Each structure stands twice: as C-alpha cells, then as structure tokens.
Structure 1
Amino acid sequence: MVRRSLGVLLTLVTLLAAAGCTGSDSPDPAAAAATASGSDWSPAPRTVGDLDVLATSGPGGLALHTASGAKTFLPGINLGSTTPGHQPGEIDHLDAATYRTWFSQMHDLGIRVVRVYAAHPPAFYDELDRFNRAHPTAPLYLVQGVYLPDESYTEAGRTLYTPSVDRAFTEELRETSAAVHGDLTRPEQPGHAGGTWRTDVSRWVVSWIVGVEWDPEGTRRTDRREAGAAYEPGRYFAATRDATATERWIARHLDVLATAEAAHGTSVPVAFANWPTTDPLTHPTEPLPAEDLVGVDAMHVLPTRAWPGGTFASFHAYPYYPDFQRFERGLDRVEWEGEPDRYAGYLASLQQHVAGTMPLVVSEFGVPSSLGSAHEGTRGRDQGSHSEQEAMAMNASMLRMMAAQGVAGGFVFSWEDEWFKRTWNTQEHTDAERRQLWHDPLTNEQWFGLVATDTTQVPDAAAELVPEGGDTKYVHVWADHSYVHVEVTGRDGAPTRLRLEADVVPGPEEADHRLLLDTEAGTGQVQVRRALDPVRLDVRGTSYRPDQDAAWHDLVLMTNRALAGRPAEYDPVGRLVEGSWDPQDASYDSMATWQVEEETDTLEVRLPWSMLGMADPSARVALGEGRPAARVQVPGIGLALDVDGEQHALDLTWPTWNRVEHTTRVKAGADVLAEAYADLAP
C-alpha cells in the first residue's frame, strides 16, 4: 500500500478567521437566507447518457446541481435511528409524526442536507417527500447510508470476504437502493427497518456513503488472508492495481450499489465511510498501535467513466482523537481563527492526499454537551465537559473552518441526543443492555445532539423530611432519569454548607459516596470510597491514580491512560459547578450541578446517578467492589445530611422501570450554528 507522510504532503496553510457569529433573530434561517440571496435550491439534475445526475464529485470538487447553480459546499446533519428508551436496532418505532417534527426543525435551523446511516422505515421517505414538495425551493437533501449488517469480520478467523458478511452487505445495498426508489417490501426483523416503501425520493438524494468505521484488526486480517482473492473490475467502480484486499472488496460493493442505481436511471457520488484509525496516512507519534495499524485509501477505489456521479473521500473526523492530532509534527502549521489548529492541520493532510482526484467530505464531526469527558482535544475541543452553548459554538466554528479550507461538506454529529451510546471510560461502569433507559451525564457519547432529550421525573422516586426544629425547614429528594435532586430549605436563609453521604452498596461501610459543598466558598466536590472508585476499572494494571491509597478519592474520569511515557490524564468531573440548569433561564448552564434559590432560601443540588455509583438505576443495580466490579441489586440509597452542622437522614427508594418519557428542545446556542448553516448554504 502506498502511504504518504504528512511531512511530504503538508505545506504551510494559513486560513483566515471567520467573522464572529451573533445570534439570529430569524426563526427560519434557511428561508431568510434564500430570500436575501435569491437562491433556489430546487433540484436541477443533468442528463449524462441515460442517467439523471443530480450531483457530481471529482477532481474539481463536489457540485449539487440546483435551479440557482452548483452548490459546492454541503453543510449537513447526521440523523440516528433511535429515541430514548430504544436501542438502534428498534428502528421501526420511529413514526411519521417524529420525522415531520424533525424535518421542520432542521429546516428552521437552515440545514440543507441530512445523512442517515441505514434504510429508515417507510415513513421517513414518505415524510421527506411530503416536506420537500411543500418547500420546493428549500428542500432537505438526503445522503443515504448503507450499514454492514454482519460485522463479524472483526472476529478471529473471519474477514470481509466471509460469505455471510459479503452476502449480507450485498443484499443490504440492493434493498436500500430499492427503498430509496420506493420499490421494496421486507418483513420486520431485529436491526432492520421493515414494511413497504412506495415513495421514490431519489430526486433529492445527493450522495451515498456506505460501510462502517473499519475495524483495524479485521481490516488487516482481510488484507493478509484475502490478498490473493479473485477480483474483476466492475462496470461503474474499480480498484486500482495497488489496492488492498479490503479496498477491492469495497470497490466491488460500490459497484453493486451503482449498478442498482443505474438500473433506476440515476447517478450521484458514491463513497465509503472511513475514519482516522484507518486513514491512508502514517502517524509515527500515535501511541496506540491499533490507531495506525492499517489504512484504507479512497484513492484506490475509483469510479469508471460510466459513473458520472463520481466519488469523494468521506471521513468521520473529530478534533480530539486519535492522539496523533495532539503530537504530530506539522499539524500546527495550519491556522484557524488566528491560532495554530492541529485539527485543521489534520484535515489539510487528508485533503493533500486526495488532491487532484477527489474532494474531502467530513461526514461526521462535533463535540458533545456532556458533563463528563473522555479525551482532551485540540484547542479545548475536548470529548465532553462543554455547555450546550460552548458545544454549538465549537461546531459552528469547525463548520466554517471546513468551508474556508475547501472541504466539500461537513456533517455535524448528531441531530438528537442518543441514550443508548457508550464510551470507553464509562462503559465498564454501567449495564450495557439497559443504557437506553437512562441518560448518563458522564457518558459523553449520549450528548452530541443539536436537540436535547430532557428526562422527566421518575414516578414515585421521592422522599421528604420536615424537621420540627432547627435551621433546616425542609428536605426534598427526588429523581429523574439522569439525576438525583437534593433540595434543602433553610428557615432563615439558604444553607451554606452541605455534607451529603450516600450509603449505596450493602455492607459495613456507612457511606460509599459523598458530597462536600460550601456555597460561600463556591466549591463543591463529589468523592467516592476507595474500593468503589470506578476509575480502577479503566486500566489494566493495579496503579490507576496517584492518590489511590487514600481512603476517599475525588471523583474523576480517566481521559487517557498512561501511554508512550506520557502520564495518565483525568477529567475532574466531581468538581461541581454553580449555575442554573433551567433552559428557560437567561443564565442557563447545562454544566451546572448546584444553585441557591434566594427567593425560597433553598440550596439545590443535582447529582448524576453515576456519581452515586449506580450502574443501572432503572433496575436498581449499583456498581460494587472488585475487578471486574460486582453488580449489586440495591433497595434504594440511604442519605445522611449535615446541613450547617445539623444532622438529618432519609432514604430514597424508587420502582424499577422499563419505559421512559422525555421531552425535546433545540439546545441553547444553536442559533450560532444556525447562522453558520445559513451563511454557508444561502
């Protein structure tokens, strides 16, 4: 395989900073921008031979052909296939009303293109068609994905050429093409949308991105074991002579899709998914071998002259991982907003690699608005620990960066928060089978959405205490599907100091987790008993933090293990933040975990279930001792409070649950991102 180093490819690139963003007064940026510019986004496909070509992609870039000319930068959004309480394989629960709401909200935010990863239920295509016919000059274009139904190529002894893997992908490609053209009936089955697709939305399909983020071990095994596998170039896509076995397999399947599309008389750009772990570049400073083990190169999978739609290099590229972005020489020579920007430098290296043959599309990027973080990023773009406003501003900045850098498209991840998601530094702390039933603020992957999925109160999960005397007037404890709320009201003013001890796991210890809060000093800290510290589960050895022998540990999340001579890194997530968590409040801060309500003399605290050691609150399962940690069924949580020296105690109990309710809202700060969409796709 030909691999190019950044030192050879990267030239000095300095990008001009984008103008500062301000809030928009328009409730419909897409319509406002179109009105101001006279832009008409209605499709105007060209005819090449016997094919209708809505978009093309090649050496000159990507172009979507519309009534007002070619659109050469596509700012979009990624849409998942689930809602709270559901796993992604339960896609058939999505209905017409949900899609109708989503499309309207996307339009109001100025989004021009939506990407999906797999065939959605028929209602998706019905409602997309309905919406676009109602908005002919500002339609919502579609990037259709096709996922890999059988991912067992990651298992020992199997490859992408394993017959079950190969057949499943081939069938999924053909069926998804049929669904898009309104010509498919298939039964409901786990992991697939079922039903009858009758609506043809192909006139709004701007491209296809198929496949998955390739597993490095599975890819390398495929390349080695299938190196001599027979290959014949397809009519529409062909692998180059120096292509690997994986690349030849991808080329063969892109040709399957192109053949199905050509049979319907259409041709648009067809690309395959990729990510930095299997990019075609070398990264000598990457500390994890698996992150630079093998490459998959779009330059080795090319369209033939018979496919006018062309192709592009599609990458899921985030600003915080892999680690080489922080250390690789040369990446900091690229600037954005007047500062060296290693993320911009990495995108520049990808562009250099494909320059002259195809454009680059960043098909996933973004930062989450979660309390917890899982990795440090470039220029503060960490994998979490951002307020909603910070996350939206960072996403807007990166989108503008991509346009300024000449990238052909940028797709923010994602549309709506997804409760089922996991991340490496909390997955050992929670129950994998029931994550979708509660929304963990410490698991950043659950908080990428532009749309918040706010939890509701857990029924019958409350306790109260009314002391007969003393300075404490009232104690109220209740829970939603993310937090345990503790509200303490004073008789003559709000409490100033609160020590809260939580007895969670049955045993001789009276406390397993505790909170130390001083409102006058403005400090709050959550601590965990040494034997229950969840960080111990995230490392392979016995040494997991400098203070691990102390009886109590400040609660942290590990954001990087000690690697390549570099010390381990931590997110001090147990250090609580003061502020309002009411989205209607002008000073709203989604990171806030305590506040003082002066009008009612009440100190309010909200603690994530995971800060109290719950592995699955929906089943009342706590994280116990040991490695791996025991899972302990608990009747509730015993709470001991010291309120300015006064002692109180009460128990919080709640019923288990298997269904959840939630509400949705566009996140704070989304107007800044909406303005970027409107500016970049008027």
Structure 2
Amino acid sequence: MRATVALLVAALVLAGCSGQDGDGDRDGDRGGPDAGSDWSPAPVDRGGLTVLAESDGDGFRLHTSSGTKTFLPGVNLGSTTPLHQPGEVGTIEAETYRRWLEGMAETGIRAVRVYTLHPPAFYTELERWNEEHPQAPIYLVQGAYLPDESYVEAGRTLYDPAVDEAFSAELADLSDAVHGDLSRPERPGRAGGDYDADVSQWVAAWILGVEWEPPAVLRTDRAEADAPYEPGEFFAATDDATATERWIATHLDELAAYEADRGTSAPVALANWPTADPLDHPTEPSPYEDLVGVDAMHVLPTDAWPGGTFASFHAYPYYPDFQRDEPGLDETTWQGEPDRYAGYLASLQEHFAGTMPLLVTEFGVPASLGSAHLAPAGRDQGDHTEQEAMAMNADMLRMMADLGVGGGFVFEWTDEWFKRTWNTVQHQVGERRQLWHDPLTNEQYFGIVATDPEPVADAATEISPEGGPIEYALVWADASWVHLEVTFRDGVPQTLDIGADVLPGPQREDYRVRIDAAAGTARAEVRRALDPIRLDTLTRPYHPEAGEDWHLFRLLTNRSTTGPQGERPAEYLDVGDLVEGTWDPEDPDYDSLATWQVLEDDDRVEVRVPWSMLGFADPSSRTALGEGDPAELVTVDGIDFEVAADGVGEAIDFTWPEWNFTGYVERRKAGADVLAEAFRDLAP
C-alpha cells in the first residue's frame, strides 16, 4: 500500500505544478497575500437586501470585484489549541489568530469556516486582516453549534425547551457578533466578551446545526410528528418535512430574520453528514449509518431570502462503509479511473440538482501513524505521510471543482490534541487527552499545520557503560514519543532489542521493539494480556494470532460486519511494522511515519515509540493500561528499559515528571505546497 500511495502522491505533485493563475503566469509572486485577482467584496442589491453571495439551482455565487466566483475553497478552523479542551475556547489569543490568518492567506485559502462563536479576538483579527488586504480578504463561513446537545439523551428531542431555546439565543448572539454588536459574559464552554468588529461584509455563508445523531433524530421525528409548525417569512419546511426538518427550518428562519433586519442576506444551510443523508444505502452493513435522513430539499428559502441555501455535507472518502461497495458509485470517474468517493458526491449532487448546489464543508485525510478505517483508492483514515495526506486533499479539492461542487473546505487548519478516535478512545484517560498528542489517534492529525510537541521538561535519562557494545544511550520524551538514541563502540550491531517493563509484576517485559539493522526491519510487539485490541471488540478470538504470547502491535480498523453484501472479516493496520527513515522535517527525505533510523557514520541507532505503543493511557499523569477488560488503570513510576545489542544488554531506568503543560511549535506540514497550489489554481 505504501508503494501504491507513493506513486499516487508523485503523480499529484507533478499535476499540481502545471496550473496557472488567472493571468496565466506562474513565475511571479504566488505566496503573497495579495497575489491573484481582486477578491474584494462586490455585493449586489436584491429586493433591498445587500447580498454578497447567493446560492440556488444555478449554483453558489460569491460576488467579488473581479467577477462572480462559483467555487469557494476554504479551510475549517477549530476552537482549541494543544493542552486545551474545545470548551476552553477563550484561551486562544489575538496573536494566534493573527498568525493563523496570515498562514491561511499564504496558503491561498479564500475562506475560513468556524463551527461556533469564537472569542472577540478572532473577529477583530479577521477585520484587521481584511482591511489591510482589501483585494485578498479571507471570507467567513459562520457556523452555529447547538449550545445544548441533550437531545441525544434517552427520552429527549430537539423540541425540548432547553435545547430549542438555547439554540435560538445562540443564533441571536451570532448575528449580533458578526455585526460587531454583542456583549455577553464569558461562561464555561462558550466564548464571551465585547464583540465590536463588524465582519458582516465578508460573511459568505452560514451553516447551522451539527452532525445529526440518528437515534435522536428518529426519536424527534416520532415524538414530535404532530408538533405545530408555521412556515417562516424566509425559510419554510415542505409538506413532507419531518419533525426534525421543521425544527431546523424554524431556526434557519430565525437567523435569516436577524440578518434581514440588518439589511443583509447570505446563503444559510443546515449541517449534515453521510450518516443522516437523504439517500438510501442498501449495502451499508450498520443500521445506524442508514437509519434516518435529514433532507435539505425539505427546508427551503422563500422568495424573501435572496441569499438562498445549499446542501452542506461533511463527507470523507473512508466512511461510512457503503462507499466501498454500493452499486453505481464506481460509474463516476476521476483522472480516468473509477472513483467511489467522486461517485458518492455525484449522487448527492443528483439529489439536490436544480434546487441547490452541494458544498463539501468538511473533508480530508489525516497524516497520522494510526488509522481507523480503510477506504477505496487508498484514502484511508490515517497511515499517511504528511506529503501523502496533503496531496490527497489537493486531489479531492480539484475533484470537487471538476464535479461542479460549489465549494470544498479542508479539515482542518491545525492539528488538535483533544480529539478521540473509536479504535483508541478505550485506551486513554479522556479528561486528560488534550495534554498529549497520540500518533495512533488519527483525528489529532488532520491539520495543514502540525503542532509538534517540544521535549517534556526534566524527562531525560542517559547512561555511559564502561564496557560492552553500548557506549552511550539517551532516553528522552515529548508529548507524543519516547525517544531512544543508542551509540555503539564498534559499529551498529546486527540486532537491537528494546524491552520495556512498564507495569509492576513478575513480567520483565510488557512491550518490546526488535530491530534487525542488517535486514532493515523492525517490529513493535505487546504482551498478549496487554494487547489493546481486546478493548475494541467483543469478538473472541479477536485475531488469528490472539493466542500467541507476543502480538505485533496492531490497530483494529474495521470490526467484522455482516450486511447485505455478506460477511466482511475484521481488518487491521499492522502499525507495529515500523518504518525506517528520518523524522526531521528539515530533511528532504522526511517521513512523518518513520520511527527508527540507523546513522552509520555516527555508529548510532535512533528510535521513537509512541507513548500509546508503550501502553500509556495518559503519560502526563504516568497512567498505564493494565490487564483486564475493561483495562485497569495503573499509575507507574516510570519505564525500565533493557537495551540489548546483539544480545548484550544494558538497563535504563527512565522516569519523568507529571505535567499539565508542555511546549509545542507550529509547522506547516510537508507537502502543503501541493495543497496551496490547488487553492491558488481553483481560486486565483
């Protein structure tokens, strides 16, 4: 698979270098924020309302001084930084927003989508940037999240007063905020302060709601089927709308009314994802993934709302499983080959054709060591180098433009440490997940910008044996990796074995890495009783080799399924087959998946092992996974390493202080230039 993906990336890099800007000149300054055509807003008047963008059966149209733009490429921006949970939204400083906006402009990004209200500094810095760069502004797609998501709880619905009223209040605040007319107190989990920056002239669209939870939607549709409903002045549900769709229509109308009172109109859409799309997926093995539909065709603007609406979808190439074998999806081609992801997007377009365009408002693949799902065309949910991930994102963005999609928003601007993934979440201490950066948790590695941890303070141990093959060894750690650097007296040995005793007890090794330098191979293994896959599936045995004393470290990427297409066995990523190479981002041979390397000239071997592959549920509190299911959580003093060169070993006792803070640095990922090229080509 790595060889196939590498060939794909090489082809995409070459393809990405052949584009031209609007003037047919790629030899000039491409990196400056004011490069390209004039993107300053040029709104039109529609029935007395100022309309910057409009969206209808003819497509999405953003009005600028250099003409109408029909494809809007952008990026999603989260509300957190490393070491923080998303509810700590007020911790992002103005300087950080300023740096992010500058980086977006340098990457050729024309629009940023936020999911909820950010602190005042975001809007102040956006206004500052756009006023200083009037011909190259960054447009805003403002999201509205549900402040109260208790509709997912048993017995509750979207119509519950706490849910309904909180969302209504949030929409009023959001409209006031983008117009620079809001003051609200800061509360846990919500941004607050004085909003006096008016960014409304750059609001290209609104997206309201969340990735709707199917059981809660079904419960709402049944319990509130007869709830009274009155069509709004600006948005109205159709006669065949469900209770959920009528509730959404009511709130889209509320937001539109607030904006109309201020004399503006822009496209307003409801958020959605494939799990709640309006299509039937007969090959989907999981009933959850095709349980209900939420259909934007049932929530339509009236003639009083010239901004219109669009179908907003978070659509990824690896999920749900129906993309792998649904008949007809491979009839759509991209770059001369059948492409199931393109086929799914085309099927969504066909559903909405003639009424509204499709905008893919979240998509991407992560540059992570771990993966959580396999996908057609190699676009898996992880196990990609940074170069591979950026090239795939660029390719999908170009695909969307080629299909006639109205816009594509890459997920996301920066890596976020707090994120969780289904096949590692049971291995972690959830309330402290944001304090470290797990290479096996793919959701933490979607960013265009990496957030690389710096070394943990006072977390280093060294030895200098007086004799034997090992001359010097150093162990140190950051918030992602434990690093071992071993220098030898008489050249690099043929084999290097690293045993890690993490848990108290009679076993001398709980985890181990076995390097065969002569063969160029390395394996990370885990003692049977500690294999974390036992926590991710009820199937026993969970792997053909489950009875062996030692297991190659694997991640479960798909549980076994039985569906209309028959049985599909469980699938795994052999993440314990370690990749040789350099992980120095400054090196032209940089490989973000590399975990070991031999430096012959220095008689040294360097290894980095994720904390999670040493069994840590939270290294910041020195908490390790014990045995059992569920796993016991064990606080340990450190790790006792045994490092053996050709069978001759040395002990290294490694410990580190607990931490609630550690440093990190931001870095644009390798290969991001290919993605930037796509942004510039598609929005010159």
Matches of residues 371-520 of structure 1 in structure 2 within 5 Å?
Answer: 371-520=369-518
Q: Contact 2:34–2:135 at 8 Å: present in 1 too?
A: no
Measure the CA separation in 1 of the matches of 2:258 and 2:30.
Answer: 37
Measure the CA separation in 2 of the matches of 1:652 and 1:306.
Answer: 68
Q: Contact 1:159–1:218 at 8 Å: present in 2 too?
A: yes
Measure the CA separation in 2 of the matches of 1:25 and 1:474.
Answer: 50
Secondary structure, aligned partner of 1:254: helix
Measure the CA separation in 1 of the matches of 2:316 and 2:358.
Answer: 14
Measure the CA separation in 1 of the matches of 2:177 and 2:376.
Answer: 40
Partner of 1:128: 126
Deviations 1:172-212 (A, max 9, x none): 11101111011111111111111000011000000001110
Q: Contact 2:29–2:35 at 8 Å: present in 1 too?
A: no
Deviations 1:16-42 (A, max 9, x none): x998113988774465751xxxx2100
Secondary structure, aligned partner of 2:264: coil
Q: Please state how far the C-alpha of 1:461 moved relative to its aligned partner.
A: 1.0
Q: Contact 2:482–2:608 at 8 Å: present in 1 too?
A: yes
Q: Can you give the 5+ residue segments of structure 1 that lack an aligned partner in the other structure?
A: 1-16
Choose the corresponding residue for 2:524, options 519, 526, 546: 526
Q: Please state how far the C-alpha of 1:49 moved relative to its aligned partner.
A: 2.2
**Cα 1:575–1:25 shift into 2, 3 Å:** farther
Deviations 1:654-682 (A, max 9, x none): 00001121000100000000000000001
Partner of 1:13: none
Query: Which range is displaced more, 464-473 or 399-408?
Result: 464-473
Partner of 2:568: 566
The amino acid of 2:361's aligned partner reads S
Secondary structure, aligned partner of 2:157: coil
Measure the CA separation in 1 of the matches of 2:323 and 2:354.
Answer: 24
Partner of 1:7: none
Measure the CA separation in 2 of the matches of 1:548 and 1:503.
Answer: 21
Q: Does residue 246 of structure 2 align to residue 251 of structure 1? A: no
The amino acid of 2:663's aligned partner reads E
Measure the CA separation in 1 of the matches of 2:509 and 2:392.
Answer: 40
Measure the CA separation in 2 of the matches of 1:293 and 1:546.
Answer: 33
Partner of 1:276: 274
Secondary structure, aligned partner of 2:561: coil
Matches of residues 188-199 of structure 1 in structure 2 within 5 Å?
Answer: 188-199=186-197
**Cα 1:25–1:291 shift into 2, 3 Å:** farther
Partner of 2:112: 114
Q: Please state how far the C-alpha of 1:256 moved relative to its aligned partner.
A: 0.7
Partner of 1:161: 159
Measure the CA separation in 2 of the matches of 1:375 and 1:604.
Answer: 30
Q: Please state how far the C-alpha of 1:516 moved relative to its aligned partner.
A: 0.8
Q: Please state how far the C-alpha of 1:543 moved relative to its aligned partner.
A: 2.6
Q: Contact 1:496–1:644 at 8 Å: present in 2 too?
A: yes
**Cα 1:191–1:25 shift into 2, 3 Å:** farther
Structure 1 segments, 4+ long, off by >6 Å, are: 23-27
Measure the CA separation in 2 of the matches of 1:430 and 1:507.
Answer: 22
Deviations 1:136-160 (A, max 9, x none): 1110000000101111111110000
Measure the CA separation in 2 of the matches of 1:661 and 1:375.
Answer: 31
Q: Does residue 8 of structure 2 align to residue 20 of structure 1? A: no
The amino acid of 1:290's aligned partner reads Y
Q: Contact 1:30–1:678 at 8 Å: present in 2 too?
A: no
Partner of 2:619: 617
Q: Contact 1:33–1:679 at 8 Å: present in 2 too?
A: no
Matches of residues 170-319 of structure 1 in structure 2 within 5 Å?
Answer: 170-319=168-317
Measure the CA separation in 2 of the matches of 1:129 and 1:646.
Answer: 64
Secondary structure, aligned partner of 1:207: strand
Partner of 1:596: 598
Measure the CA separation in 1 of the matches of 2:284 and 2:505.
Answer: 44
Measure the CA separation in 2 of the matches of 1:328 and 1:659.
Answer: 47
Measure the CA separation in 2 of the matches of 1:296 and 1:271.
Answer: 12
The amino acid of 2:100's aligned partner reads W
Measure the CA separation in 1 of the matches of 2:493 and 2:242.
Answer: 67
Q: Contact 2:583–2:592 at 8 Å: present in 1 too?
A: yes
Q: Does residue 320 of structure 2 align to residue 325 of structure 1? A: no
Q: Can you give the 5+ residue segments of structure 2 that lack an aligned partner in the other structure?
A: 1-11, 19-25
**Cα 1:477–1:108 shift into 2, 3 Å:** same
Deviations 1:635-666 (A, max 9, x none): 00111111122111111100000112100010
Partner of 2:653: 651
**Cα 1:561–1:654 shift into 2, 3 Å:** same
Query: Which range is displaced more, 24-33 or 163-172?
Result: 24-33
Query: How large is the Cα RMSD of the aligned pairs?
Result: 1.3
Deviations 1:322-368 (A, max 9, x none): 00000100101111112110000000000000000000000000000
Query: Which range is displaced more, 131-140 or 537-546?
Result: 537-546
Measure the CA separation in 1 of the matches of 2:28 and 2:371.
Answer: 33
Q: Contact 1:81–1:88 at 8 Å: present in 2 too?
A: yes
Partner of 1:639: 641
Measure the CA separation in 2 of the matches of 1:494 and 1:134.
Answer: 56
**Cα 1:535–1:27 shift into 2, 3 Å:** farther
**Cα 1:561–1:26 shift into 2, 3 Å:** farther
Secondary structure, aligned partner of 1:628: coil
Measure the CA separation in 1 of the matches of 2:33 and 2:164.
Answer: 44
Q: Contact 1:317–1:362 at 8 Å: present in 2 too?
A: yes
Measure the CA separation in 1 of the matches of 2:197 and 2:628.
Answer: 55
Q: Please state how far the C-alpha of 1:540 moved relative to its aligned partner.
A: 2.1
Choose the corresponding residue for 2:539, options 532, 538, 541: 541
Partner of 2:3: none
Q: Contact 1:278–1:293 at 8 Å: present in 2 too?
A: yes
Deviations 1:244-292 (A, max 9, x none): 0000000000001101111111100000110000000000100110000
The amino acid of 1:570's aligned partner reads Y
Q: Contact 2:79–2:86 at 8 Å: present in 1 too?
A: yes
Q: Contact 1:363–1:410 at 8 Å: present in 2 too?
A: yes
Partner of 1:673: 675
The amino acid of 1:559's aligned partner reads T
The amino acid of 2:103's aligned partner reads Q
Secondary structure, aligned partner of 1:593: strand
Partner of 2:40: 42
Q: Please state how far the C-alpha of 1:229 moved relative to its aligned partner.
A: 0.4
Q: Contact 1:117–1:147 at 8 Å: present in 2 too?
A: yes
Q: Contact 1:269–1:312 at 8 Å: present in 2 too?
A: yes
Partner of 1:12: none
Q: Please state how far the C-alpha of 1:120 moved relative to its aligned partner.
A: 0.7
Deviations 1:541-574 (A, max 9, x none): 3331111111111110000000011100000111
Measure the CA separation in 2 of the matches of 1:165 and 1:248.
Answer: 15
The amino acid of 1:20's aligned partner reads A
Matches of residues 92-103 of structure 1 in structure 2 within 5 Å?
Answer: 92-103=90-101
Measure the CA separation in 1 of the matches of 2:344 and 2:468.
Answer: 61
Query: Which range is displaced more, 589-598 or 72-81?
Result: 589-598
Q: Contact 1:561–1:568 at 8 Å: present in 2 too?
A: yes
Q: Please state how far the C-alpha of 1:243 moved relative to its aligned partner.
A: 0.2
The aligned length equals: 662
Secondary structure, aligned partner of 1:527: strand
Partner of 2:9: none
Partner of 2:586: 584
Measure the CA separation in 2 of the matches of 1:655 and 1:238.
Answer: 58
Measure the CA separation in 1 of the matches of 2:29 and 2:320.
Answer: 38
Partner of 2:662: 660
